[in-house]
Amino acid sequence: MDFLNNYLIYLIPVIGLIGILAMAVKAAWVTKQDAGDGDMAQLAGYIADGAMAFLRAEWKVLGYFVVVAGVLLAWSGTTVATSSPVIAISFLIGAFLSAFAGFLGMRIATKANVRTTQAARSSLAKALKVSFTGGTVMGLGVAGLAIIGLGSLFIVFYTIYVKNVAGSTVNGEDMAKALDVLAGFSLGAESIALFARVGGGIYTKAADVGADLVGKVEAGIPEDDVRNPATIADNVGDNVGDVAGMGADLFGSYVATMLATMVLGREIVSHDAFGGIAPILLPMVIAGLGLIFSIVGAAFVKIKNETDSVQKALNMGNWASIILTAIATYFVVQWMLPAGEFHMVRDEDANHVIKSGIIPFTKDGVFMSIVVGLIVGTLMSIITEYYTAMGKRPVLSIIRQSSTGHATNIIGGLAVGMESTVLPILVLASGIYGSYHFAGLYGVAIAAAGMMATTAMQLAIDAFGPIADNAGGIAEMSRLPEEVRHRTDNLDAVGNTTAATGKGFAIASAALTSLALFAAFVGVAGIEHIDIYKADVLAGLFVGGMIPFIFSALCISAVGRAAMAMVEEVRRQFREIPGIMEYKAKPEYEKCVAISTKASIREMVAPGLIALITPIIIGFAFGPEVLGGLLAGVTVSGVLMGIFQSNAGGAWDNAKKSFEKGVEINGEIHYKKSEPHKASVTGDTVGDPFKDTSGPSMNILIKLMSIVSLVIAPHLNHLVDTSPRIQREIHRQSLNTHVVIKTDKKL
Amino acid sequence: MDFLNNYLIYLIPVIGLIGILAMAVKAAWVTKQDAGDGDMAQLAGYIADGAMAFLRAEWKVLGYFVVVAGVLLAWSGTTVATSSPVIAISFLIGAFLSAFAGFLGMRIATKANVRTTQAARSSLAKALKVSFTGGTVMGLGVAGLAIIGLGSLFIVFYTIYVKNVAGSTVNGEDMAKALDVLAGFSLGAESIALFARVGGGIYTKAADVGADLVGKVEAGIPEDDVRNPATIADNVGDNVGDVAGMGADLFGSYVATMLATMVLGREIVSHDAFGGIAPILLPMVIAGLGLIFSIVGAAFVKIKNETDSVQKALNMGNWASIILTAIATYFVVQWMLPAGEFHMVRDEDANHVIKSGIIPFTKDGVFMSIVVGLIVGTLMSIITEYYTAMGKRPVLSIIRQSSTGHATNIIGGLAVGMESTVLPILVLASGIYGSYHFAGLYGVAIAAAGMMATTAMQLAIDAFGPIADNAGGIAEMSRLPEEVRHRTDNLDAVGNTTAATGKGFAIASAALTSLALFAAFVGVAGIEHIDIYKADVLAGLFVGGMIPFIFSALCISAVGRAAMAMVEEVRRQFREIPGIMEYKAKPEYEKCVAISTKASIREMVAPGLIALITPIIIGFAFGPEVLGGLLAGVTVSGVLMGIFQSNAGGAWDNAKKSFEKGVEINGEIHYKKSEPHKASVTGDTVGDPFKDTSGPSMNILIKLMSIVSLVIAPHLNHLVDTSPRIQREIHRQSLNTHVVIKTDKKL
């Protein structure tokens, strides 16, 4: 046990390596599956090429960004004592690993898709196995790389700044510096995540909306028809948006959650067997446990017969990994954290007396906070499913409102989306309240870490969806027998549900992560309150609340513009290339791919820069307390807009899908192509950018702005107490007599 | 001058009386205008009867509410020292005057409409004069009754609690009690306003959407066609929603702004010639000036020739009253406020020393804050006009996106609405920052008071719109000559613009008012911070942010449901009453009126109760600081949702209207009945509940929740410092030893 105590810190990246090894085994298995005949292979090749073309274009732009941001970070790292130019290296590694995780996931997804189609020719069980294994590769890759990266960098910085420095303490400025430099890793990861999510989201929906508007509505050909010039772009979109974009998103959340907990953990004086850093190591250890049990849980995901429930199999795997992780976490918490009471250093006054009104917490409290996190995550998924699932009241209400036309369908969906914010917010507010109750701010952070522990499994389930979707597309395009399409449709339907619940989970984790980062920011910036009763802080709250609105506006109007360009290109091809409709001529797929690629890369820049630059401007111009108000505004408004848009989109989508089997409205059965169905297609199209571009981007927006704030927090430290009022006071004083202003605030 | 100093307090209600006299003169003038021939009179009669039927039904429900709420208030007034059962009387008077103001406005509007139609048979100048005079009656009635009510009650309570009480001071608990009781007046007014706005909003849009969906889309008959059974309900809706609803809304804002400033004014120690209450009297005096100069400004609103610009005439009147009021305000501030520096009592520590970092302000600062308020109001109107006016980029972008169908039209409108939050929020944030900079929290409040000073003129301009709209409806239904309809259309188009800018103004004033109430609440509740860095306050912020979403969802789905009932009724009439389409049979207008009435009364209850009850539950369960977090969340989210929905709706409306004259998209001209036009009708229909039901309700929601909080604040005073953490601390202590908890907080 002693040995373990001494080397636990080194074990963390090893667990990450185990994840990567498991990933390699699974990737090799997928690769060696049958990729089908020539037609299928050719179509899959187009999709894979299109996806890589997008990634290359994206990386080129991000390359410039990363270099510029890295130089700025390196320079800024030299300006304050609690940072270092090394932060730039940390940033670059984070950015690289995030991009690499997306690349790995997409590589395997574009192999797994056609292999799933081929597997679906024999059985549903086989098709599930191939598609889910493809998803697992993504999940293990993301989690493994994140743990290796964060774990190794922590060892390095801990060794450089703390362990080998005489007189340093784990709660002192040296550790603060190590963690500040480590925050660069998270900043790098989250920056890439934002661009990947927004770029991918614009790509996939521009292609999807464009393909639907001309293909389904104007030309009357089915979705994924090989004659539609935009169909390849549409399938590429599933990969770049739903696979690479989401992978980078969860990579970022996973890292940010651990980091925030570590930063808060520094403030806990812990007399443990790990040199006092148990509260800092704990989140990484929990993540490691989650990774291991995700590998175990993946083994539960299988079915035997054609009639077995795919959803049930996925739930089995999910629950297995969550429950096993929770049990193991209990023992790890008991082992790592010492008995007795903890409190955070910031809750002490100058004489090291705990301030009145603050209570310490115990290791049992820490475990309870983790349980709160798991409950919040589960409830959020359940609520999201209710609001977006077929056959439940919300979707049924939209179906009913489709009978009076396009407008009432839209009104119905918007109302459902707005209403769907109520329960998640109450759950989230209770979660904040509860996790804080059990272990203070550290509790809020570790709750998020608990929720994110099984990210590998969550992501496997999430990434399985677009692989199945692609497999169905390839089956349709290759005009394979009905039964094949039937099997892939079965998988795809489950994928739609998991996509919706995954979004609920992602927004909850992002909200808790942001709060943890927010709390960490307050500590690093050295402020004691964020008092919204001050006019300037309140002004910051307003501006922060507005940012998710302009961000969403930019995202959805980008999709609108790009989709219109796509529509015009498809119309042109139908007009100018004779024989497309008779399968005699091949459409110019690559032109549509190019339109989506170009538009998404161009349009991702503005929203990305808003997220990155706003906190910097506000922080330096108005000080950390106003920045705190801004962050609170962004977080509240971002969570609300995220839930609203994701759920409205999901509900519209399933309202439309319900028409495939026929729906009853006022005693009449309506099918596809009926007037109510046309109205439901309008809703689905409006919902597309909501649920796949702007909605899920809210997660990253709020996290990224919090991380940027955390990274600049040491620079703002000296700005504390120079709010306008005080500046004027100083000014007034200096008119009368010369006074020297000293700031004696320290971290 | 001495005489004026002593009797200024009594002069305030006299100014209100002058307003009411001017109103009576104008009302008599409107009434004696020619009401047209038999057909017109009959139609106008239907509309007037329908409007009164709604008011009676609404009053019945509100009667119960007012009695129950009054009893609760009376009872609660006995429980704390700083309140009194008299607050119930204050509440009843506020509720009654608000309802009465709405009634007066609607009475005259339902007379002015047909008289405007008749006047339009002779000239545009005459038609403008009749319709604007009708609007002026509404404006003067609202402002006059508000000033009389608030002014007289203040005299009464000031006399009872302060003036005749030995040893009382104007900054002490006695004045606090007087103002707390006075807050009941504002609570009564704002409660009625909420129900009137929501009920009226649901009514008007259920009728409008229902009438359009069957009439325009299915039956292919024009708007306001006498054959459409829902057309009378639609015209009634203009009166109950846009006239009575808006009148009650602005009555509430006007009163709330004055009240908040008065509550904050109590905290200023002022050695003035008015017994120390100049800062308390100032907002009422400014409102009085605004009323007088609104009467003056109304004289500027006139045109001579058919080609004169109606918009210019309205602008002339508006600017005249604003500028004259601003100039007069300067002299009044100089006269009333003493020289030297003020500060707020709460900014002192226990030894009456001003806390560090707080700076005092001067009377020039107070005037500058008022100027900031006027600038904010003006900029908000200009920005709103840009985002909703024909021919400007936002509306043009929606028109372009109508060419690819319903879905892209909706996406375009949503994006415009979201984007349109940016500038108003920046203006508002700067306004908060600026007015605070010049005169602290009192500055924020007086800025709102300055903005609201010319409410009489604002409301005259706003109410003119629906009167002109109705006049056009009557002209169409009576099948009057083209030129008549042409003149009323001219007025109606201007009315649409003023409706949009009026909404921008209303939301800005509501935001500033809420902040002022928020600041007043903080003082009365006796808290020092609202620290969002505390977990419970942050949870409150989240819950508060969610409320505008559920409120909007309830409003728009209520419209959706009611509209569907209307559609079914109209379809039934077309089916079951032969000869309607040939003008041979009269539709059963009263059935449609009944549907709208019933639905709106039923559906207004849930959102109304949410607004009223939430602050009470949160305040008593979690204490005033969490309630402060809730209010901040409601205010930020409510302002954003209000701007988003109002502007999206306005832009969709004008995108649709643009097709009437033909619009060019990609070199092709599209007119009404083209495919892009149909898409634009969908957007307009979605926008209807956005811009006339949920959007403008946000104003009242945020004000009402702030007022409820202010009224319960004295009851929460003893809950200060019993946040969960402290309670647990107390609990922990009491496990060890018996401790007696004392709260020594005082106002």
State how far Cα A267 lies from the chain centre.
Answer: 27
Q: How far apart are CA A125 and CA A133, in angstroms?
A: 12
Binning pLDDT at 50, 70 and 90, where does residue B645 land?
very high
Residue B744 has pLDDT above 70, yes or no: no
Q: Is A411 within 8 Å of B557 when comparing Cβ atoms?
A: yes
Closest chain B C-alpha to A554 CA, distance in angstroms: 7
Across the interface, which of B421, B540, B725 has its CB nearest the CB of A359? B725
Q: Does the pLDDT value for residue A740 go beyond 60?
A: no
pLDDT at B210 over 90: no
According to the model, what pLDDT value does residue A110 have? 92
Mean pLDDT calculated for residue range B521-526: 86
Q: What is the pLDDT of residue A346?
A: 79
Among the partner residues A401, A432, A535, nearest to B432 by beta-carbon distance: A535
Any B CB within 8 A of A7 CB = no
Q: In this model, does residue B723 exceed pLDDT 70?
A: no
How far is it between the farthest Cα atoms of chain A? 90
Report in angstroms the alpha-carbon separations of B679 from A172, A555, B674.
63, 22, 9
Residue B35 has pLDDT above 80, yes or no: yes
Token digits for B739?
């401790």
Q: Is pLDDT at B235 greater than 80 in this prediction?
A: yes
Residue A361, φ and ψ in degrees, nearest 5: -135, 170
This model of the complex carries an ipTM of 0.91
Q: How far apart are CA A519 and CA A434, in angstroms?
A: 16
CA angle B718, B703, B492 (to 5 degrees): 175
Shortest CA gap B10–chain A (Å): 34
Q: Which of B410, B538, B633 sits opposite A432 (nearest CB)?
A: B538
Which pLDDT score, from 0 to 100, does residue A581 have? 85
- pLDDT, tens digit, 9 for 90 and up, residues A617-656: 999 999 999 999 999 999 999 999 999 999 999 999 999 9
Q: How far off is chain B from A412, nearest CA to CA, in Å?
A: 6
Q: Answer for the pair A524, A713: CB distance below 8 angstroms, yes or no.
A: yes
The position carrying tokens 């954003």 is: B640
Q: How big is chain B by its Cα radius of gyration, in Å?
A: 26
Task: Return mean pLDDT, chain B.
Answer: 88
| Predicted pLDDT at A727 | 40
| Interatomic CA distance for residues A505 and B582, integer angstroms | 59
Q: Element (H or E) spanning A670, and its range?
A: strand A668-670
Residue B726 pLDDT exceeds 60: no
pLDDT at A509: 84
Question: For the residues of B185-224, what is the DSSP string, one character each?
Answer: HHHHHHHHHHHHHHHHHHHHHHHHHHHIIIIIIII-PPTT
Q: What is the mean pLDDT of residues B652-674?
A: 87
Which helix H or strand E contains A665, and what residues bound it?
A: strand A663-665
Give mean pLDDT, residues A429-458. 93
Residue B497 has pLDDT above 90, yes or no: no
Q: How far is A227 from chain B (nearest CA, A)?
A: 21
Query: Could you tell me the pLDDT band of residue A220, with boundaries at 50, 70 and 90?
Result: confident
Contacts with B356 from chain A: Cβ below 8 Å: 729
Find the range with the poorest average confidence among A340-344, A345-349, A577-581. Answer: A345-349
Q: What is the pLDDT of residue A504?
A: 84
In the stretch 715-734 of chain A, residues with CB closer than 8 A to chain B read: 721, 723-726, 728-729, 732
The four Cα atoms A358, A511, A705, B416 give a dihedral, to 10 degrees, of -130
Cα(A694)–Cα(A640) distance, integer angstroms? 12
Query: What is the interface size between A and B, counted as CB pairs within 8 Å?
Result: 268
Q: Provide the residue type at B468 as one letter.
A: A
Among A353, A404, A512, A680, pick the best mutation site for testing chain B contact (most B Cβ within 10 A): A404
Q: Could you tell me which residue, B215 or A638, shows the higher pLDDT?
A: A638
pLDDT at A508 (0 to 100):
86
Task: Confirm or reject contact between A687 and chain B (CB < 8 A).
Answer: no
Give me A16's structure tokens. 């990450």
Of A95, A325, A47, A339, the C-alpha closest to A207 is: A47
> Are B436 and A535 an interchain contact pair (Cβ–Cβ within 8 Å)?
yes
- Rounded CA gap, B161 and B172, in Å? 11
| Higher-confidence position of B644 and B78 | B644
CB contact under 8 A, A563 and B428: no
Q: What tokens were used for B612?
A: 């009223």
Which pLDDT score, from 0 to 100, does residue A1 have? 57
Token readout for B509 is: 């004033």
Give the best-scoring range by mean pLDDT among A730-739, B249-258, B327-336: B327-336
More confident residue, A414 or B73: A414
Q: How confident is the model at residue A415 (pLDDT cuts 50, 70, 90)?
A: very high
CB-based contact B546 A640, cutoff 8 Å: yes
Mean pLDDT value across chain A:
88
Q: Is A401 on the interface with B (CB under 8 A)?
A: yes
Minimal C-alpha gap between A26 and chain B (Å): 41
Position A719 pLDDT exceeds 60: yes
DSSP code of residue B160: I
pLDDT value of position B3: 73
Test A636 with B639 for CB contact under 8 angstroms: no
For A500, the token pair is 């919706």
CA distances from residue A637 to A539, A634, A645, B531, B536 in whole angstroms, order as listed? 14, 5, 12, 18, 17
Asked if the C-beta of B452 comes within 8 angstroms of chain A's C-beta atoms, the answer is no
Q: Tell me which residue of A484, A549, A525 sits closest to A694, measured CA to CA.
A: A549
- Terminal C-alpha separation, chain A: 35
A563 φ/ψ sector (left φ>0, alpha ψ -120 to 50, else beta): alpha
pLDDT band at A189 (very low <50, low <70, confident <90, very high): very high
Split at pLDDT 50, 70, 90, the class of A734 is very low
Residues contacting B327, CB < 8 A, separation 6+ = none
Q: Where are the beta strands (DSSP E) in B603-728?
A: 663-665, 668-670
A358-362, A465-469, A683-687, B533-537: the lowest-pLDDT one: A358-362
pLDDT of residue A729: 41
pLDDT at B741 exceeding the cut of 50? no
pLDDT at A411: 94
pLDDT in tens, A24-56: 999 999 999 999 888 888 889 989 998 998 888
For residue B442, name the pLDDT band (cuts at 50, 70, 90): very high
Mean pLDDT to the nearest integer, A345-361: 77
State pLDDT tens for residues A454-505.
999 999 998 898 999 889 989 988 889 989 998 998 898 888 888 888 888 8
Close Cβ partners of A438 (under 8 Å, ≥ 6 residues apart): A361, A365, A366, A368, A369, A372
A103-135: per-residue pLDDT in tens? 988 899 999 999 999 999 999 999 999 999 999
Angstrom distance (rounded) from CA B61 to CA B403? 46
CB contact under 8 A, B359 and A557: no
Q: Please tell me the distance from the alpha carbon of residue B41 to that of residue B18, in angstroms, as a whole number.
A: 32
Contacts with A656 (C-beta within 8 Å, 6 or more apart), sequence order: A677, A680, A681, A683, A684
- B413: Cβ contacts below 8 Å, ≥ 6 apart: B398, B648, B651, B652, B655, B683, B686, B687
Q: Which residues in chain B have Cβ-Cβ distances shorter than 8 Å to A550?
A: 418-419, 421-422
Q: Are the beta carbons of A326 and A289 closer than 8 angstroms?
A: no
**Mean pLDDT in residue range A244-267:** 91
The C-alpha angle A299, A304, A309, rounded to 5 degrees, equals 85
Measured CA to CA in angstroms, residue A594 lies from A44, A65, A281, A589, B519 at distances of: 17, 22, 46, 9, 55
Question: What pLDDT score was predicted for residue B324?
Answer: 96
Query: Do B407 and A530 lie within an 8 Å CB cutoff?
Result: no
Q: Is the pLDDT of residue B25 over 90?
A: yes
pLDDT confidence tier of residue B125, bands split at 50, 70 and 90: very high
B143 pLDDT higher than 70: yes
For residue A15, pLDDT beyond 90 = yes
Tens digits of residue pLDDT in A280-324: 999 999 999 999 999 999 999 999 998 899 999 999 999 999 999
Assign B357 a pLDDT band (cuts: 50, 70, 90).
Answer: low
> Could you give the CA distance from residue A537 to residue B429 in angstroms, rounded to a whole number?
10
| Percent of chain B whose predicted confidence (pLDDT) is above 90 | 54
Q: 3-state secondary structure string, B25-49? A: HHHHHHHCCCCCCHHHHHHHHHHHH
- By C-alpha distance, the chain A residue nearest B725 is A357
Residue A131 CB-density burial (10 A; 0-12 exposed, 13-18 middle, 19+ buried):
buried
Residue in chain B lying closest to A644 (CA): B549
- Residue window 205-264, chain B: list those with CB within 8 Å of chain A: 209, 213, 217
Select the more confidently predicted residue: B6 or B521. Answer: B521
| Nearest residue on chain A to B426, alpha-carbon basis | A543
Residue A732: pLDDT band (50, 70, 90) is very low
